[in-house]
Structure 1
Amino acid sequence: MNRQRSLPSLSASSDSATAKGNWRQFASPVMFDRLVGKLFWPLMLAAMLCALAGLALGLLILPPDAVQGNSYRILFLHVPSSWMAMIVYLAMAFWAIVYWILRTKMAAVMMQALAPTGALMAMLSLLTGALWGRPTWGTYWVWDARLTSMLLLFFLYLGFIALTRSITQQKRADQAGAIMAVVGAINVPVIYFSVMWWNTLHQGASISFKSGVSMHNSMFWALLLMVAASWLYCIAVALARARVIVLQREAGNRWARQRYASTVAQQQE
């Protein structure tokens, strides 16, 4: 009797290879450009809706606070911007580590794309904090541990932007920026834990894992909406900026020239 030898199935291995290919394709500048083109406006629209709802609730609907009066309303801008200033820098450090390990171009692009957005969030944190501090502490600025460390974070953002733009060779600029992003990330836990480590004027966190939420539910929902708006805005703007950086770096490739030509044609219509 002739026995037919069964051949091993290739479906599992081919599916695995396809899955890996699908994940890797997003590291391609072409696929990244297409992905951002589809995501930007939905993210921005969601950010605007969350911001409108949060501002309406926080600035117009909620009553004055029993202790701080109306000055507490600035916290609906101050808290999200402060959180995002720290989170964005940690994201920069993450992409710096990815760049060191994998040497992918997109990791370096994401580092540079995040920096201006993080600098904006840090500046908003400092400005809104000063506006809140004037009626609360009687002064716009004190050399408080949290304020000083946030100011240092703002300077780290500016230093990263200046460093990466002052080096003409792109690879060296990416390497120097990666080092600064990782080293500067040490300042982020200092900002967060400063009110616990030192005796400062800055009030403690109203939301924490240990004590939970120590604010009224209506205030919490307004803050949550503003945090969501900040997240969505930062993601959308950073992706859009990364898209521009990719086009600048890939300017010599055919797809980038076609992409630029199509954009110019759409603007002229």
Structure 2
Amino acid sequence: MLLAGLYLGLFVAPPDYQQGESYRIMFVHVPSAWMSLFIYVFMAVLSAIYLIWNIKLADVMASSSAALGASFTFLALATGSLWGKPMWGAWWVWDARLTSELILLFLYLGYIALVSAIEDKRTAARAGGVLILVGVVNIPIIHYSVEWWSTLHQGPTVTKFDKPSIHFSMLLPLLLMAAAFQLYYFTVLLIRARAEVVDRERRSAWVQETFSNSASG
């Protein structure tokens, strides 16, 4: 999906009638921005599950998602900056959408720093979960900032209620890239979560038995 999306976006889709070839960065920028929001909301749901029902696997999934969410957020900001220079004449402007997305990156990094600084896993999970839930207020601000304030950032072209105001030749690679990023996230998340579970339960009998069976096999 990643290869197909990049090929269609970079070589098949026509130039934009206003932005020319510069718009092609959106095939990385937009899916990254979508993922930055999706992962944070997913972490908030997982944190709520942990805080309410004390399900440890929910905390494992949340903590394993943080670095991925921060990476997608940084990628969205970096590619947006590359697009902003030719379009706006500046690498960075304190636009409402950009500023709130930067705050999202700080929330991810703050969560990572907080849970890493607390030695007790349970205390760290509770503190991190509360931080994530408090930060959820930033998500609708990011999403609706273009509509609420007069900003430089382009308005929605795909998630419109009537129909997307984007040609299918551009929409298809954009959706392919979004699906590729989504599958990448869940694949890496499961790998990281499995490693985290084994690390946390390394003294448990089932982990030692599993590794002893693997070694003998």
Normalising by structure 1, we get a TM-score of 0.78
Equivalent residue number for residue 72 of structure 1: 23
- Given candidates 163, 179, 183, the residue that maps to 2:130 is 179
**1:182-225: CA deviations, max 9, x gaps?**
01111011000000110100010111242321011110001010
- Given candidates 55, 65, 71, the residue that maps to 1:120 is 71
* Alignment-mate amino acid for residue 194 of structure 2: R
Higher mean alpha-carbon deviation, 100-109 vs 118-127, is at: 100-109
Equivalent residue number for residue 4 of structure 1: none
Equivalent residue number for residue 255 of structure 1: 206
Equivalent residue number for residue 200 of structure 1: 151
Report the 3-state secondary structure (helix = DSSP H, G, I; strand = E; otherwise coil) of the residue aligned with 1:131: helix
Q: Check if 1:234 corresponds to 2:182.
A: no
How many angstroms does 1:229 deviate by? 0.3
Distance between the aligned counterparts of 2:8 and 2:135, measured in 1? 36
Query: Is the contact between residue 14 and residue 169 of structure 2 (CA under 8 Å) also seen in structure 1?
Result: no
Distance between the aligned counterparts of 2:200 and 2:37, measured in 1? 28
Number of aligned pairs?
217
Equivalent residue number for residue 106 of structure 1: 57
**1:117-170: CA deviations, max 9, x gaps?**
100000000000001101111111000000000000001000000000110011
Distance between the aligned counterparts of 1:156 and 1:182, measured in 2? 11
- Given candidates 87, 90, 95, the residue that maps to 2:41 is 90
Q: Check if 1:142 corresponds to 2:106.
A: no
Go from structure 1 to structure 2 and tell me whether the alpha carbon gap of 1:261 and 1:67 turns closer, same or farther (over 3 Å shift).
farther
* Structure 1, unaligned runs of 5 or more: 1-49
**Could you say which structure has the larger radius of gyration?**
1
How many angstroms does 1:258 deviate by? 4.2
**1:211-251: CA deviations, max 9, x gaps?**
32101111000101000001101111111111111011101
Distance between the aligned counterparts of 1:261 and 1:163, measured in 2? 35
Q: Check if 1:63 corresponds to 2:14.
A: yes
Go from structure 1 to structure 2 and tell me whether the alpha carbon gap of 1:262 and 1:205 turns closer, same or farther (over 3 Å shift).
farther
Go from structure 1 to structure 2 and tell me whether the alpha carbon gap of 1:262 and 1:152 turns closer, same or farther (over 3 Å shift).
farther
Distance between the aligned counterparts of 2:158 and 2:9, measured in 1? 17
* Alignment-mate amino acid for residue 177 of structure 2: M
Distance between the aligned counterparts of 1:99 and 1:156, measured in 2? 19
Distance between the aligned counterparts of 2:214 and 2:147, measured in 1? 51
Report the 3-state secondary structure (helix = DSSP H, G, I; strand = E; otherwise coil) of the residue aligned with 1:117: helix
What is the Cα-based RMSD across aligned positions, in Å? 1.5
Distance between the aligned counterparts of 2:68 and 2:216, measured in 1? 29
Normalising by structure 2, we get a TM-score of 0.96
Distance between the aligned counterparts of 1:222 and 1:60, measured in 2? 11
- Given candidates 109, 133, 139, the residue that maps to 1:188 is 139
Report the 3-state secondary structure (helix = DSSP H, G, I; strand = E; otherwise coil) of the residue aligned with 1:213: coil
Distance between the aligned counterparts of 2:186 and 2:28, measured in 1? 17
Go from structure 1 to structure 2 and tell me whether the alpha carbon gap of 1:253 and 1:235 turns closer, same or farther (over 3 Å shift).
same
Higher mean alpha-carbon deviation, 79-88 vs 203-212, is at: 203-212
**1:57-109: CA deviations, max 9, x gaps?**
00112222221111000000000000000010000000011112211110111
**1:15-68: CA deviations, max 9, x gaps?**
xxxxxxxxxxxxxxxxxxxxxxxxxxxxxxxxxxx1000000001122222211
